[in-house]
Amino acid sequence: MKTSPRLFLVSLLGLSAAACAKHDEATPAALSAGVTRHEHKAPHDGTPVVLGQEAYHLELVRDPATGGLSAYVLDGEMEKFIRIPARSLEIVATVAGQPRPLILNAVANSATGETVGDTAQFDGQADWLKRTSSFEAVLTAIEIRGTKFEHVAFNFPKGNDKD
């Protein structure tokens, strides 16, 4: 069966467009407009912390009224929640030159079926979070789907994305 050159070209263009739909590099038009940054939208408008080469993200959301800090484990595109077996996460923040350890405990959610030991959400609370809106911090360790990330430094609320 012979394929016409026009049909072949249309098919090739369609496949190319589909393959480029999620491509991370800016297009020539975007580059000429000065757009070169690859960004993701945090679902809770929180601080994104990149894990690895954007394999995963941690989204941090501060509640200044309660001194709460929530962490959500997300995929590399920040579109899907990733459940992990950890019972807690530890963040060590530096506030006024002093280290402030903060434990974020796993959160169960009956609406989503998440349990402690199988969840994407972790919550913690500290009085210093009520009055501290910016700090340097380190996530001590997190394991996601067999990959361990240790000593992940970031700024809150800027995150750690270097793009």
CATH number of the structural domain spanning residue 121:
2.60.40
**Cβ contacts of 20 within 8 Å, gap of 6 or more:** none
* Counted domains in the chain: 1
Rounded to an integer, what distance in angstroms lies between the CA atom of residue 160 and that of residue 152?
A: 9
pTM of this prediction exceeds 0.85: no
Residue 135 lies in a domain: yes
DSSP string, 58-80: EEEEEETTTTEEEEEEEETTS-S
pLDDT at 42: 78
Q: Which of 157, 152, 103, 161 is nearest to 135 (CA)?
A: 157
Whether 117 contacts 125, CB under 8 Å: no
- pLDDT, one tens digit per residue, over 9-58 is 444 444 444 444 443 444 444 444 554 455 668 778 899 999 998 899 99
Residue 67 lies in a domain: yes
Domain extent at residue 101: 47-156
pLDDT at 78: 93
Residue 85 lies in a domain: yes
- pLDDT, one tens digit per residue, over 46-100 is 999 999 988 999 999 999 999 999 999 999 999 999 999 999 999 999 999 999 9
